[in-house]
Amino acid sequence: MIHINVISSLGLGCNIAGVVMLFFYGLPSKLKEYGGSILLEEGEEAEKKRKKENEKITRNAYIALTLILIGFILQLIGVNYLP
């Protein structure tokens, strides 16, 4: 049987990992890409690269938020568990 402190520690670890990821990637934005270019010199290749980078940032931001949610749930289980 897993000790309750281990569950709380796993939750804390998930929270820390999620917060660090959010620090680097930020929260997901509600703005969508509609094509076009900010700079006149930006070609199709640069636009594809920018869209791919934006998808990576959004995916990592949602992973970070999920880690934080899992961490809180694990900590709640650890605190409220009655043996």
Tell me if 16 sits within 8 A of 67, measured CB to CB. no
Which has more confidence, 37 or 82?
A: 82
The answer to whether the CB of 24 falls within 8 A of the CB of 81 is no
Give per-residue pLDDT as tens, 20-29. 999 998 887 7
Q: What is the three-class DSSP state of 57?
A: helix
Q: What would the pLDDT profile of 28-62 be if each residue is shown by its tens digit?
A: 776 655 555 555 556 778 778 888 888 888 899 99
Q: Are 67 and 14 in contact (CB under 8 A)?
A: yes
Position 11 pLDDT exceeds 90:
yes
Q: What is the pLDDT of residue 74?
A: 92
Q: Would you kindly state where each structural domain of the chain is located, as residue ranges?
A: 4-27+41-80
